[in-house]
Amino acid sequence: MSQLQIARAAVRRPFMRRRKSCPFSGPNAPTIDYKDTKLLSRFISERGKIVPSRITAVSAKKQREMARAIKRARFLALLPYVLK
């Protein structure tokens, strides 16, 4: 590799992205509850789908818990199945 190629490779990544932490882990984290529709609606897309954890940075365990709470809230008509 020439010096020019090495210099370009160094310029390509100016900073490292920081890994997001789970919003439900920590001392002041909110608890996941199917009755808390305001919290659950943050994790639903504009079309009414559950947003994946790779976008929301929710841990796998909390993502399953959150999906269960969203589905329960939908069944009880607290949240809509589809948004228009």
The partner residues of 44 in beta bridges, in order of sequence, read 50
Quick one: pLDDT at residue 40?
A: 96
Q: How many whole angstroms separate alpha carbon 25 and alpha carbon 62?
A: 9
CA contacts within 13 A on the Cβ side of 61: 4
Fold entry, domain 20-84 = 30s Ribosomal Protein S18 (4.10.640)
Look-up: residue for tokens 């948004």?
Answer: 83
Model confidence at 10, pLDDT cuts 50, 70, 90, reads low
pTM of the predicted structure, to 2 decimals: 0.76
Could you give the CA distance from residue 76 to residue 54 in angstroms, rounded to a whole number? 27
pLDDT in tens, 29-68: 999 999 999 999 999 999 999 999 999 999 999 999 999 9
**Run of H or E including 7:** helix 3-12
